[in-house]
Amino acid sequence: MGPEIVVPLGAFATAIICAIGIPLARAYSRKMDADSRNPRIPAEVASRLERMEQALEAVAIEVERISEGQRFTTRLLSEGRSAADPRQAALTSSPPRDSAT
């Protein structure tokens, strides 16, 4: 085979490889880029994260219950103090009783 046949065959082969190879390379690079943006999480890690999320929700509910109890206790204490003040004022403002009469 002489150079007059090898050069055109090489040119056609190069054109075909470029026509097929460039889109394949672009698709592969886009796939790699998409995979790097959305990494896959292993199933065991996903289940562990789900359990942690449930535990955090349970803790949040308990903290809310504690804070509700604290608000209730504070309200009771403030109502008790305000109710005790008029009685003390009435006792101290009444005249003293004479024991001789």
The string of pLDDT tens digits covering residues 1-26 is 777 888 889 999 999 999 999 999 99
Region 59-72: mean pLDDT is 96
Q: Measure the CA angle with vertex 12, ends 11 and 15; round to 5°.
A: 85
Give domain limits for the chain.
14-88
Q: Report CA-CA distances (Å) from 62 to 66, 78, 79.
A: 6, 24, 26
- Cα 35 off chain centre by: 23
**Residue 94, SS3?**
coil
pLDDT of residue 86: 56
Q: Measure the CA angle with vertex 21, ends 17 and 15; round to 5°.
A: 30
N- to C-terminal Cα separation, the chain:
147
pLDDT in tens, 21-56: 999 999 999 998 888 888 788 889 999 999 999 999
